[in-house]
Amino acid sequence: MAVDPTPPLTLVQDRPVYVIGGGPGGLATAAALRARGVRAVVLEKADHVGTSWRGHYDRLHLHTTRRLSALPGLSIPRSFGRWVSRDNVVRYLEKYAEHHQLDVVTGVEVTGLERTDDGTGWLLHATGGRELLGSAVVIATGYNHTPHLPDWPGRDTYTGELLHAADYRNPGPHTGKDVLVVGVGNTGAEIAVDLVEGGAARVRLAVRTVPHIVRRSTAGWPAQRTGILCRRLPVALVDRLARPIARVGVPDLAAQGLPRPDTGLYTRVRQGAIPVQDVGLIDAVRKGQVEPVAAVESFEDGKVALADGTRIGPDVVIAATGYRRALEGLVGDLDVLDARGRPTSHGPRTPKQAPGLYFTGFTNPISGMLRELARDAEKIAKAIAAR
C-alpha cells in the first residue's frame, strides 16, 4: 500500500480512475479496477483507510456474517469469528489495501469536481490547491458520513449532556447515570444494551417509529441470508411471510411500550428502514432494563419533552439519529442528487449528464452493506474497463 500524506499530485497525461474514499467501498472498487488492469488511485482525506470504522463504538460487530462480508479478492480470516468485531474490520481493511497493493493517498480531500473542457474526463479540485485529472471518478465517501443531530426546539440552550451516537465509544463515562437514547435503529438499540450491561442507572429509549426486530441468527441461519433470498421477491409477499415468522421468533413487547409495527417489514425496508437485529434488546426490554418512551419533541428548562406530553430529566442524551451523505458540497451542482441528497445513479450506472461518474455505498440494503459493496465494485470496474 502506497501511503503518502503530501504527494506532489499534479495534472498528468495518463489519467487514472480516482476513487474518493478509503473505506470498504472505495478499496473494493480500486482492487476490482486493478484486477482489470485499470490504474486506480484512492484519495482519503484522513490519515488511514477505514476511518469511519475506527470511529464506531467499541462493542460493534458486523450484523452480517464473515463469509458474506468479504471484499473481492481476499477472504476475512476465520480467526475473526462469524460476527466480525469493529477492530477486526479495521485490520481487514488495512490488510486488504496491502494485499492488493492499492495506490492509496491519505490526507487529501476532494472539494470539487468538474468535467474537463474536452468532455473526456474529470478535473478534481483537492486540498492544497491540487488539480487532478482523471478518466473517471468513483465516489465512495460512505453512507454514514456526517452525523445528523435534529434541530429540536431548545436544543441550543440545553445544559445537560447531549452527544451524537458517533461520539459514543463505551458505557464507562455513563456508569451510574440516567441515560436517554434517542432512536431505535440498530445503533440506538445496541448502545442501549451496552449501557445496561455497562452499569447505567437507568436507560430509556425514545421511539418515534416502532421498528421491526429480527433475530440476528435462528438455529444457525443468519438473518442476512433471509434478506438475500427476499431481496428480489415482491414487497407484498415478503410482508406477508414476515408476519408469522416475527410472531414465532420475537415476543410481543407491547406491554413494555414496543408494539409490533403496523407497516410490513419489506415495505419499511423499501422506505429506507432496515430491521433491528437483536443483540440483546428483546431481553433488555422484556426485563425492564431498557424502557421505551415516546419520541423527543423539544428541550425545555433543562428537561426533555416527549411527544406524549411527559417531561423527563436524564443525565445524558445520546442521539442515535443517523447520518447524512453530505454530497451536496462535492457534486451538488452536477444535477446527480435527488431531493434528499442521494445519488440518482448507483453502482455501474453513470448519470447521462455526468458520464464517467460513479457512486457506491449510498444505499442500506437488507442483504448486507459489505456484500453489496463487493458486488458493486466488480460491476463498476467492469463498466469502467469497458469504457
| Domains, the chain | 17-145+325-386 (3.50.50.60), 147-322 (3.50.50.60)
**What pLDDT, on the 0 to 100 scale, is given for residue 7?**
42
**What pLDDT, on the 0 to 100 scale, is given for residue 13?**
43
**What pLDDT, on the 0 to 100 scale, is given for residue 217?**
93
**What pLDDT, on the 0 to 100 scale, is given for residue 170?**
98
**What pLDDT, on the 0 to 100 scale, is given for residue 56?**
95
**What pLDDT, on the 0 to 100 scale, is given for residue 12?**
39
Block mean pLDDT (10 aa), the chain, length 387 = 44 78 98 97 97 95 97 98 98 98 97 92 94 97 92 93 97 98 97 98 97 94 94 93 92 96 93 93 98 98 96 97 94 95 96 96 92 97 94
**pTM of this structure:** 0.92
**What pLDDT, on the 0 to 100 scale, is given for residue 81?**
98
**What pLDDT, on the 0 to 100 scale, is given for residue 272?**
84
**What pLDDT, on the 0 to 100 scale, is given for residue 304?**
97
**What pLDDT, on the 0 to 100 scale, is given for residue 382?**
98
Instruction: Decide: 182 and 318 in contact? Cβ < 8 Å.
Output: yes
Burial 187-212 (b: 16+ CB within 10 A, else e): bbbbbbbbbbebebebbbbbbeebbb
